[in-house]
Amino acid sequence: MERESEKKNVTIAEIARRAGVSSATVSYVLSGRQDVKIAETTRGRILALCRELDYRKGAGRKGTKKQVTIDDIAREAGVSTATVSYIVNGRKDVKISEETRKKVLQICNLRQYTPSPIARQLAGKKNTLVGICAPQSSYPAQNARYYALVHALQERLQAQGCGVLLLAPAPSRGAPLQEGLEGIICIDLTEEEFFALKESCFVPIVAVDMIVPDPLFFKVYTDHAAVIAAAKARLHREKITYVAHPYRNALYLDDLKAALQQDTLYAADDTSALREYVQSHPQDAFVFGDGLLAELCAPLLSAGRAVCISETEERGDLCLPLCTVAEQAVAMLQSAVRREETKPHTFKLAPITE
Q: Are 208 and 154 in contact (CB under 8 A)?
A: no
Exposed / middle / buried, residue 149 (Cβ in 10 Å: 0-12, 13-18, 19+) = buried
d(CA 133, CA 185): 6
Phi and psi based region of residue 171 (left: phi greater than 0; alpha: psi -120 to 50; beta: remaining): alpha
Q: Which among 108, 267, 136 has a CA at the least distance from the CA of 203?
A: 108
In degrees and rounded to multiples of 5, residue 75 shows phi and psi of -65, -45
Q: Are 260 and 289 in contact (CB under 8 A)?
A: no
What was the pLDDT predicted at 218?
93
Residues in Cβ contact with 97 at an 8 Å cutoff, skipping those fewer than 6 apart: none
Q: Which among 140, 164, 189 has a CA at the least distance from the CA of 296?
A: 140
Q: Are 346 and 212 in contact (CB under 8 A)?
A: no
d(CA 242, CA 239): 10
Strand order in the sheet with 286-288: 264-267, 241-244, 286-288, 306-310, 318-319, 352-353
Calculate the dihedral angle through the C-alpha atoms of 117, 120, 122, 124, rounding to the nearest 10 degrees: -120
Interior/surface letters 231-253, b for 16+ CB within 10 angstroms, e for the rest: bbebbebeebbbbbbebbbeebb
What was the pLDDT predicted at 315?
59
Q: Are 327 and 110 in contact (CB under 8 A)?
A: no
In a structure prediction context, what are the per-residue pLDDT tens digits for the chain, which is 354 residues long? 344 444 456 788 788 888 888 777 777 777 776 666 788 888 888 888 888 887 765 544 344 455 677 778 888 888 887 788 778 777 666 788 888 888 888 788 777 776 544 334 343 344 578 999 999 888 777 888 899 999 999 999 988 888 899 888 765 544 556 667 888 999 999 998 998 888 777 788 999 999 998 888 899 999 999 999 999 999 999 999 999 888 899 999 999 999 998 999 999 888 899 999 999 999 999 999 888 888 889 999 988 899 998 887 665 678 888 899 999 999 999 888 877 778 889 999 998 865
What was the pLDDT predicted at 120?
41
What was the pLDDT predicted at 137?
83
Q: Are 149 and 326 in contact (CB under 8 A)?
A: yes
What was the pLDDT predicted at 264?
94
What was the pLDDT predicted at 5?
40
What was the pLDDT predicted at 103?
83
Q: Are 180 and 240 in contact (CB under 8 A)?
A: no
d(CA 302, CA 9): 71
All domains in the chain, ordered by first residue: 1-65 (1.10.260.40), 67-113 (1.10.260.40), 129-220+323-348 (3.40.50.2300), 224-319 (3.40.50)
d(CA 24, CA 336): 12
In degrees and rounded to multiples of 5, residue 273 shows phi and psi of -65, -35
d(CA 302, CA 311): 23
Please state the length of the chain: 354
Tell me the pTM.
0.64
d(CA 5, CA 156): 46
In degrees and rounded to multiples of 5, residue 106 shows phi and psi of -65, -40
What was the pLDDT predicted at 56?
64
What was the pLDDT predicted at 45?
86
